[in-house]
Amino acid sequence: MTETMAADAPSAVSVRDVNMVFDGVHAVRDATFDLEKGRFLTILGPSGSGKTTLLRMIAGFGRPTSGEVFINGLAVGSVPPHRRSIGMVFQKLALFPHMTAAENVAFPLRMRRFDARTIPDRVQRYLDLVKLGKLGDRRIHELSGGQQQRVAIARALVFEPDLLLLDEPLAALDRKLREEMQLEFRRIQRELDVTTINVTHDQREALVVSDEIIVMDHGRIQQKARPEATYRQPKNAFVANFIGVTNFIEDTVASIDGERIVFDRPGFAGRIGNGFRPVTGAAARGALRAEQIRIGSGCEALGDVDTMFDGTVTDAIFEGERVVYEVSVKGLGETTLRVFDHDPVTHNQHDIGSTVALGWNVKDVLVFGD
């Protein structure tokens, strides 16, 4: 079979106009992006967004209905499965229970007919990399969940693949262990400089481990950007809502002054969000993140902000490092805002039913279409 080459200088991964249709339904629609070598990309989205389908096409497990996927300039479909240099870690790790940790790691080397004399040293090197250097003789059932994850990572990397694919491998772990393993993934990826694509619905994981994030919804790529830009400069209301805790305040556009939008409700304004073309008199939504709102007993406690409203606390949830408030704001049409209050100095907590002052800056309100 002739190996199809990408037309331009090859990136590590190039996805070009890829569509996947199942029974008339687009699971992936018009996906196009490039990933440079050595980068860590996370594909993020809710269940049914198409992220796993896209990953499977990159792995060569499914042929796109249209479009093409290239790895190092070669079309995935043109390369036989046994010649694809792709390591994979899934939520179901598929480790061999009858083998030791070291034997599991050695398995892909034996399948690829590596020189048997070199295998023990290579296996030990990768067990050391994932901090299991002294546990190679353990059976899989003798290892904790986190240790099993490390074995799976070592097995996926031991043959030094060009590309590492991760399909929600941490989803089954408890929160503390999951967060520890997120940092381990990042450490290992940086140490080896292996191009990595990770699929998850965990927002924190995407922000922590990634060089770049793709956000998907209903089969479409909504945004591809660095974590900071994805969080602070969301391309649309879906991205703003999916990542972080975002309040949406609905109103009508009263006037437009450059990038600033003034709404009908007195004292409420924001700046134009990415891709939004506001029209005076049209309905719109201001997106305001929970951590960007300050809360205090009175306006004097808010500090330097340019927008202030009074509200009534309807709920207060203590989460240890912060209190999450729900505050009803009459001046915004009884809109309920969620507010994070870390208050590291006084640890005061506002009672349910109490009147509070809320404040934020106009620049923190991104305005999108209704």
pLDDT digits (tens, 9 = 90+) for 212-254: 999 999 999 999 999 999 999 999 999 999 999 999 999 999 9
CATH code for the structural domain at 13-237: 3.40.50.300
- Order the strands of the 195-200 sheet from edge to edge: 86-90, 163-167, 195-200, 40-44, 212-217, 220-225
Out of 1.10.40.30, 2.40.50.140, 3.90.79.10, 3.30.390.10, select the CATH number for domain 245-369: 2.40.50.140
Rounded to whole angstroms, the Cα distance separating 201 from 172 reads: 13
Query: Taking the domains of the chain in order of start, what are their residue ranges?
Result: 13-237, 245-369
Contact at 8 Å (CB) between 6 and 14? yes
Residue keyed to tokens 């690829």: 112
Rounded to whole angstroms, the Cα distance separating 306 from 364 reads: 11
DSSP 173: S
Count other Cβ atoms within 10 Å, centred on residue 75: 19
DSSP three-state, residue 275: coil
Half-sphere exposure of 61 (CA within 13 A, CB side): 9
φ and ψ of 309, to 5 deg: -140, 150
Contact at 8 Å (CB) between 270 and 253? no
From the list 54, 63, 15, 367, the residue with the least C-alpha distance to 218 is 54
Q: Quickly list H helices, the chain.
A: 51-59, 101-111, 119-129, 145-157, 175-192, 203-209, 227-232, 237-242
φ and ψ of 96, to 5 deg: -85, 115
Per-residue model confidence as pLDDT tens for the chain (370 residues): 345 555 455 799 999 999 999 998 999 999 999 999 999 999 999 999 999 999 999 999 999 999 999 999 999 988 887 788 999 998 788 899 999 999 999 999 999 999 999 999 999 999 999 999 999 999 999 999 889 989 999 999 999 999 999 998 888 788 888 888 888 889 999 999 999 999 999 999 999 999 999 999 999 999 999 999 999 999 999 999 999 999 999 999 999 999 999 999 999 999 999 888 999 999 999 999 999 999 998 888 888 999 999 999 999 998 888 899 999 999 999 999 999 987 656 667 899 999 999 999 999 999 998 7
Query: pTM for the whole thing?
Result: 0.89
> H-helix or E-strand containing 295?
strand 294-296
